[in-house]
Every structure is written in C-alpha cells, then in structure tokens.
Structure 1
Amino acid sequence: MKLRFLGAALALVSTAALAQEANWPSQPITIIGGFPGGAATDLYARKLGAELAPVLGVSFVADSKTGAGGNIASAYVAQARPDGYTYLLGTAGTHAINPALYKKLGFDPVNDFSRIALLGNLPNVLLVNPEKHPEIKTCKDLLAAARKQPGQMNYASTGNGASGHLAGVQFAGASGTSYTHVPYRGQGPAMTALLAGEVDFFFNQSSPSIPIVHSGKARALAVTSTQRIAALPDVPTVAEACGLPGFESTTWYGLFGPAGIPPAIQARMSKAVLSAIGSDGFRKWLVDQGIAPIADGSPAAFKQTQEADLVRWAKIVKESGAQVD
C-alpha cells in the first residue's frame, strides 16, 4: 500500500513539474546585477529584458544587489529557486576572476549555476588625461615616459582584482615597465581621479569610456582586444600601438541561472536570449557600446569559455598579488 501511495505522490510531482515547464513563463522574470543601477551590466540587463518581454510574453525586472565585487548578487542567484524566474547578469569578474581573488565566495562559480548564454566580450580602453599629459599622444609615448621613471607613474582601476587592474598587470609584464596601482571604489571615482589629474592613466571598460573619449576629456591610446572596436575605429589595439604582439585583456558578460533549472525552461530561455542578441538591432547596440558580439553564445560554448578563463585569470591574479578577504 505504501509503495502505491509513494508511486502516486511521485506521479503528482512529475505532473506538476511538467505543468510548470509547459506554463513557463507565467510571471515576471528578474535579472539581477551585482553592480549599481546605471552600470554597464545594469544597462545591458534592461536592454535585454526589453527585447525579451514581447517574445516571452511577460515583463522583465532589472534589479541590483551590490557588494563584494558582484559576489552578493551571485550568491543570491545561486540560492534562488531554479524555476526559471531569476537570472544573473554575470561577468568574467564574478565567475572567473573573483574565485582567485576572494578567499570566500559564498557560491561555486561552476556547479551552482546554469549557463544560459554568453552575451558579449568587453575590452578595456587605455586612457590618459590630455591636460595632465599633453606630451603622451600614443602608447609608445606612455611607455617611453614610464621607462624614464620606473615605478613612479600610477594608474587607476575600479578596485583590486578588477579587469582594469589586471590589464595593467598584464601591460606592465608584457612591456617590461612598472607602475603603481591605485584602486578606487568603482568606475565613477576612478574616472574622476583620471580627469582630476590624480593618476597618469586608466584601463577602463569600453562602454563608459566611449562618451568620455568622444567628449575630448580623455585620450584613448589603445584598446586591449585583438581587434579595433567599431565605436572607436581610430584607436589601435595595444598590440598595434604599443608594439606588444598578441596582447589581449578582455572580459565577458553572461546570463546565468541557478543550477537545476528544468532543461526545457533553460533551453527555451537560451534560445530566446540568443535570438534577441543576434538580431541586427541588438548587435548594433552592442557595437555602439563597445561590446563585441559573440560568434557562439550557446550554453556549451559559455561553459567552455568560463572554465578556460578560470585557469587564465587565476594565473594573472597570482601574478598581481591581489587578494580580498
């Protein structure tokens, strides 16, 4: 008798699960970001939600849970119900750099998440203040100045272990130069420091760099991708401008869900996201933001990219000596 009741209970659970999958989505979907409203990740989440809402027939909410370099948002989504209604706009920082940077994450960057889609690659832009350094017009000018005064020039970043900090570490190592790293609490304070002449240069993500460069307040010497970006077509790559063949320091955005999302829901969400970001209009928006569209953003390619970057960034973090308790 007990076995009969157990079988009936399991059948009910299975039926309920199938109904949940068939009816998904039936309520608003939330995309969580780990950085403040108005940050590049927040803008991406809002843009993506606006594209997906008419396709999936529900509204999208962009929310932020800031702190610990994105770890608070990541831990929140890792612990969320895997019902297909909560996602994370994650980054290479949260899911490839932070595991080497923080002693305690509060989540497993691989096993606690479902990978929905890889959303785009982001280079950094090497910026100088033309008022502070009118003599530095090219990357080679910067290197020449650095070699005249080893270790005396400094550069801003958005925090210890941030992509701009690690780009600076890679740049110093590849060029045989040395600099003093000055971390700030986010993009805004770091950019303010550059424009105030408090630092000599700044590796900043492409999206917030583009309007500053176009305004003339900052001079772009190079981009850290292997190819120039369409939003700044006259700015050469670090490899070109600095004479450092093969140099690359880029990160990515990706959409994660908690582990255990039903396969049918995960597949439908992934298909909708990949279709949205692959449209001509969305790709133009990405290019205008300085974000390189992804050739293959599938969950399988996403997982492969993340796992490779966990190894790559661990080496760079170790070289930098950065660590956050």
Structure 2
Amino acid sequence: MLRRPLLAAALAAVTALPALAQEAPWPSRPITIMGGFPNGAGTDIYARRLAEPLSRALGQPVVVDNRTGAGGNIASEYVAKQPADGYLFLFGTAGTHAINASLYRRLPFDVIRDFTPVVLLGDVPNVMIVSPEKRPNYRTCQDVIAAARVRPQAVTYASTGNGASTHLAGAQFAVATGLDLLHVPYRGQPGAMTSLLGGDTDVFFNQTGAAMGPIRQGQVRPLAVMTRERLAALPDVPTVAEACGTQPMDTSTWYALLAPAHLPEPILRRMNTEVNRIIATPEFRAWLIENQAITPPVAPNTPEQFRETMARDVARWAEVVRRSGATVD
C-alpha cells in the first residue's frame, strides 16, 4: 500500500524538474552579443572590449558574433526573430536603428517595435581622412575642396556601405560645400580602408573608433572631425567648420545594445545596470574618450531615455537621407 504514495511523490518530483530548471537565475549559460558588421569595424572593436568585463560581472561567458550584410540588417533581423530570453543581444547603431528605417524601402522588421532598447553605449563621430602616401597633396580640407571644384566627380570618397554613417557623412559634406563627389561604397570597414590606403579612393569619412589606429600609426592623415567641437582624442585636428569653411556640422551616430522585443524587466534592468557600471569606470571611460574618440553616455542612461533617442533619431536621419538622395531597395 505504501508503494502508491511513494510512486506518486517520485512522479511529482520528476514533473517539477523542468519548472525548476526554467526558474534558474539569469544568466545560467553563455550570452551572445551579435554585431552586423565585419571584424575590425568600430562596432566589433567596442563589443569585444565590453565583453570581457561584462562576462566577469554576469558570471557567464559573453561571446561576440558578427553576421554581416545589408547595412547591419541581417544581424538585426536575426535578433528580432529570436526569443527574448536574455541570451542574445544586438550591438546596434544609429545606422541599423535610425538611418535604415528610411534608407531601405522594405525592412523585414520594425526598428522600434521589434526590439527592446537596453542601453546606450556612446556617441561616435566621424573623421575625414586621406592617405598621405597616395594623396600627398591633400594636406588640408581646402586642398580636397579645391581639387573637387576643378574636376567634379573626380574626387571619390569611400564608405562602409550605401546608407552607412560613413556614406551620409560624406553626403552631408558634399551638400555643405556644394561639391560633386563620387561615392564608392564597400561592404564594411576593411574594404573601405583598403581602398583608401591603396589609392583607389581619395577620402574616407570614417568613424573614429575604427580610424584611430591607422591615424596613430601614420597610415592616414586626419583633415577634419565632423563635429561641432574638437575631440579630446584628436585635439590638433580642426572641426569641419574650421578646416573646410562650412557651417558647423555634426554627423555623430551612436552605439547601443538592444534585445528582442519584450525582454523580461529583471533582465533588462540588470543588463542596463551592469553595462552602465562598466562604461562609467575610469579605465573604460579613458579607453572610449582617448582611444576611440567616443563620447560616453550621460547618466542615468536608462532604457526609457534610449527609446526616446531612437525615436527622435529615426525622424532626424530621415531628413538627412531625403536630402542626400540615398536609397537601397
């Protein structure tokens, strides 16, 4: 007679195992940060620098995985369609989650509705660079302007892809100076930088995160920062207004972490808190400002503030895309 109660208790214990497993505290396994751009891109550099301290803070490995293509849309679409369980995050940018909303006529996801904004990672400016070896005569921005005025469309500028911030920065510069420049898009950072260093293109309005290494190594010459004020990391490089005689211009974009829509609130708050704690440390701030020329976000840097930034920038970049005439089917 005792066997039936014992058997029932054993079955109940076995049945409860899946429920207990589901209630394991987050995180209980490795976390992936997915990027949409190639190794060596500014997003990749930042994600890998963040992954190590984040792994220590969360007690689980944080792995960086890049799925490139379509201006970051391949990675964004993949993340948008995954479960919101806290084990997959997207290293997003103003390009993937503001510019692309108007640049692409049809997106397989909604940049606002299909994602959870987690935390802003910083503002990323652009810097106008040339190859001193291949273009020794381009010592100042005025040299580039003079060459472009003499031969319209003869001066080319590389970008990391149609509609990327590196493209729109060049387009904004062309509009501001009244120049007719020829845009040459590449698939990501390596191709664009290789074209500049090889002399296939003349100018590159690159993001500072990826440009700082070549600048410090003397491979490229910075002519102007595409911001309203000079950068602490490049104090001797004039602003585009100072160097080129244009109106003040700011082509800065941002980096951020996002997750699939409906990320559970406890995971959202924990991730936001841990990332904010890391990027606020003196060591990480110094790396951002002095090494990458990235402006850290201002506290408290909540998910709600980031959501407002996204919505505002979707509208702001829509106007830039309209004026540039850029479009991608």
Tell me, yes or no, whether TM beats 0.5: yes
Note the C-alpha offset of 1:116: 0.8
Residue 321 in 1 paired to residue 325 in 2?
A: yes
Counterpart amino acid of residue 201 in structure 1: V
Contact residue 21 and residue 265 of structure 1 kept, 8 A = no
Which of 124, 129, 146 matches 1:122?
124
Question: In structure 2, what is the Cα distance between the partners aligned to 1:229 and 1:248?
Answer: 12
- Give the equivalent residue in structure 2 for 1:306: 310
Question: In structure 1, what is the Cα distance between the partners aligned to 2:264 and 2:20?
Answer: 9
- Give the equivalent residue in structure 1 for 2:199: 197
Matches within 5 A, 1:56-135: 56-135=58-137
Secondary structure of the residue aligned to 2:33 is strand
Which stretch of structure 1 is more off in the superposition, 36-45 or 286-295?
A: 36-45
Task: Give CA deviations for 1:22-60 in whole Å, capped at 9, x if unaligned.
Answer: 712222211111122333212222222211122222221
Contact residue 40 and residue 190 of structure 2 kept, 8 A = no
Contact residue 160 and residue 185 of structure 2 kept, 8 A = yes
Note the C-alpha offset of 1:229: 2.2
- Give the equivalent residue in structure 2 for 1:174: 176
Which of 46, 49, 53 matches 2:48?
46
Note the C-alpha offset of 1:142: 1.9
Question: In structure 2, what is the Cα distance between the partners aligned to 1:141 and 1:36?
Answer: 32
Secondary structure of the residue aligned to 2:125 is strand
Question: In structure 2, what is the Cα distance between the partners aligned to 1:243 and 1:21?
Answer: 61
Residue 290 in 1 paired to residue 272 in 2?
A: no
Contact residue 164 and residue 204 of structure 1 kept, 8 A = yes
1:38–1:136 distance in 2 versus 1, CA, 3 Å = closer
Secondary structure of the residue aligned to 1:293 is coil
Matches within 5 A, 1:212-231: 212-231=214-233
Contact residue 130 and residue 219 of structure 1 kept, 8 A = yes
1:282–1:17 distance in 2 versus 1, CA, 3 Å = farther
Question: In structure 2, what is the Cα distance between the partners aligned to 1:309 and 1:121?
Answer: 12
1:181–1:82 distance in 2 versus 1, CA, 3 Å = same
Contact residue 50 and residue 60 of structure 1 kept, 8 A = yes
Secondary structure of the residue aligned to 1:23 is coil
Counterpart amino acid of residue 119 in structure 1: L
Which stretch of structure 1 is more off in the superposition, 135-144 or 64-73?
A: 135-144
- Give the equivalent residue in structure 2 for 1:3: none
Question: In structure 2, what is the Cα distance between the partners aligned to 1:201 and 1:47?
Answer: 28
Which stretch of structure 1 is more off in the superposition, 49-58 or 38-47?
A: 38-47
Contact residue 38 and residue 188 of structure 2 kept, 8 A = no
Question: In structure 2, what is the Cα distance between the partners aligned to 1:235 and 1:54?
Answer: 37
Note the C-alpha offset of 1:21: 7.2
Runs of 4+, deviation exceeding 3 Å: 16-22
Contact residue 274 and residue 298 of structure 1 kept, 8 A = no
Larger Rg: 2
Contact residue 41 and residue 188 of structure 2 kept, 8 A = no
Question: In structure 2, what is the Cα distance between the partners aligned to 1:61 and 1:192?
Answer: 27
Question: In structure 2, what is the Cα distance between the partners aligned to 1:313 and 1:18?
Answer: 47
Question: In structure 1, what is the Cα distance between the partners aligned to 2:266 and 2:187?
Answer: 40
Residue 26 in 1 paired to residue 42 in 2?
A: no
Contact residue 117 and residue 306 of structure 2 kept, 8 A = yes
Counterpart amino acid of residue 88 in structure 1: L
1:217–1:37 distance in 2 versus 1, CA, 3 Å = closer
Between the two proteins, the alignment pairs up a number of residues equal to 310
1:23–1:75 distance in 2 versus 1, CA, 3 Å = same
What is the Cα-based RMSD across aligned positions, in Å? 2.0
Query: Normalised by the size of structure 1, how large is the TM-score?
Result: 0.89
Note the C-alpha offset of 1:129: 2.1
Counterpart amino acid of residue 302 in structure 2: S
Task: Give CA deviations for 1:152-187 in whole Å, capped at 9, x if unaligned.
Answer: 322111111111111111111111222111112222
Contact residue 29 and residue 59 of structure 1 kept, 8 A = yes
Identity %: 55
Contact residue 21 and residue 262 of structure 1 kept, 8 A = no
Gaps of 5+ in 2: 1-17
Counterpart amino acid of residue 103 in structure 1: R
Contact residue 120 and residue 253 of structure 1 kept, 8 A = yes
